[in-house]
Amino acid sequence: MTTVLDIQDVSKRYDDTVALKSATLSVVEGEFLTLLGPSGSGKTTLLRIIAGFQAPTGGSVLLRGRDITGLWPAERGIGMVFQQYALFPHMTVGDNIAYGLKQRKWKKPARQERVREMLDLVRLPGLEGRYPRQLSGGQQQRVALARALAYSPEILLMDEPLGALDRTLRLEMEEELRRIHRDMRATVIYVTHDQQEALALSDRIAVMRAGEICALSTPEDLYRRPNSGFVARFFADANVLPAKVISESAGRAVVECLGGRLECSVTGERADEMALVARRRSLKPGAVDGALSVRGTVNETLLLGEELEVTMSVPEVGRVVATISATALDEVAVGQELELFLPPDEAVLVPVD
Amino acid sequence: MTTGAANQLTFGRGRRLGTRVALRLGSVVTAIIVVVLLAPVLTVIAVSFSQAEFFEFPPKALGFRQYDTLFSDTDWLKAVGLSFRIAIPAALISALISVPTVLAIYRSSLRGRQALQFTSMLSLIIPISAYAVAMYGVFAQFQLVGTYIGLVIANTVLAFPLTLAVVAAAMSRVPQELELAAMIAGASRARAWMQITGRLLLPALLGGTLLAFIASFDEAVMINFVGGAGQITLPKAIFDSVRYGVDPVITAIATLLMVGTGVLMFAIVRLRGAGNPEGGS
Q: Nearest to residue A310, comparing CAs of A350, A348, A278, A287?
A: A278
Rounded to the nearest 10 degrees, the angle between the axes of helix B249-275 and helix B199-217 is 160
For A87, how many CA atoms within 13 A lie in the half-sphere containing its CB? 32
Is residue B90 within 8 A of residue B77, CB to CB? The reply is: no
Over the stretch A197-254, which tens digit does the pLDDT of each residue have? 998 899 999 999 989 999 999 999 888 888 888 888 888 888 888 888 888 887 788 8
Residue A195 CA to chain centroid, in angstroms? 5
Question: How far apart are alpha carbons B80 and B132 in whole angstroms?
Answer: 22
Question: How far apart are alpha carbons B40 and B61 in whole angstroms?
Answer: 19
Say if the Cβ atoms of A78 and B184 lie within 8 Å: yes
Q: Nearest to residue B145, comparing CAs of B230, B228, B234?
A: B228
State how far residue B223 is from chain A, nearest Cα, in angstroms. Answer: 42
pLDDT at site B2 = 44
Residue predicted with more confidence, A270 or B207: B207
Over the stretch A5-32, which tens digit does the pLDDT of each residue have? 999 999 999 888 889 999 999 999 999 9
Sequence-separated (6 or more) residues with CB below 8 Å from residue A167: none
b (16+ CB within 10 A) / e for B44-69: bebbbbbeeeeeeeebeeeeebbbee
pLDDT at site A177 = 92
Cβ within 8 Å of A, B 178-197:
178, 180-189, 191, 196
Residue predicted with more confidence, A146 or B53: A146
pLDDT surpasses 70 at B3: no
pLDDT at site A252 = 81
HEC string for A131-183: CHHHCCHHHHHHHHHHHHHCCCCCEEEEECCCCCCCHHHHHHHHHHHHHHHHH
Question: How far apart are alpha carbons B26 and B5 in whole angstroms?
Answer: 10
Rounded to the nearest 10 degrees, the angle between the axes of helix A108-121 and helix A167-184 is 130
Measured between beta carbons, the chain A residues lying within 8 angstroms of B180 are 51, 53, 73, 80, 82, 86
Say if the Cβ atoms of A103 and B185 lie within 8 Å: yes
Q: Would you mind telling me the total number of residues written for chain A in this entry?
A: 353
The rounded percent of chain A whose pLDDT value lies above 90 is 50
Model confidence at A290, pLDDT cuts 50, 70, 90, reads: confident
Question: How far apart are alpha carbons A78 and A52 in whole angstroms?
Answer: 10
Interchain CB contact of B274 with A (< 8 Å): no
Amino acid symbol at A51: A
b (16+ CB within 10 A) / e for A69-97: beeebbebbbbbbbbbbbbbbbbbbbbbb
Where does B127-218 have alpha helices with state H? 128-141, 148-171, 176-184, 189-192, 199-217
The rounded percent of chain B whose pLDDT value lies above 70 is 91
The predicted model gives B270-276 an average pLDDT of: 64
pLDDT at site A148 = 95
Over the stretch A135-172, which tens digit does the pLDDT of each residue have? 998 899 999 999 999 999 999 999 999 887 888 888 98
pTM here is 0.80
Amino acid symbol at A110: A
**Average pLDDT over chain A, rounded to whole?**
90
Is residue A252 within 8 A of residue A264, CB to CB? The reply is: yes
Q: Which residue of A has its CA nearest to B185?
A: A100
pLDDT at site B94 = 95
Is residue A42 within 8 A of residue A31, CB to CB? The reply is: no
Residue predicted with more confidence, A215 or B57: A215
Question: How far apart are alpha carbons B66 and A187 in whole angstroms?
Answer: 77
Interchain CB contact of B157 with A (< 8 Å): no
Question: How far apart are alpha carbons A331 and B231 in whole angstroms?
Answer: 96
Question: How far apart are alpha carbons B54 and A327 in whole angstroms?
Answer: 102
pLDDT at site B277 = 47
pLDDT at site B5 = 46
Measured between beta carbons, the chain B residues lying within 8 angstroms of A152 are none
Lowest-confidence region among A90-94, A343-347, B12-16: B12-16
Say if the Cβ atoms of B185 and A99 lie within 8 Å: yes
pLDDT surpasses 50 at B280: no
Q: Nearest to residue B70, comparing CAs of B256, B195, B211?
A: B256
Question: How far apart are alpha carbons B263 and B267 in whole angstroms?
Answer: 6
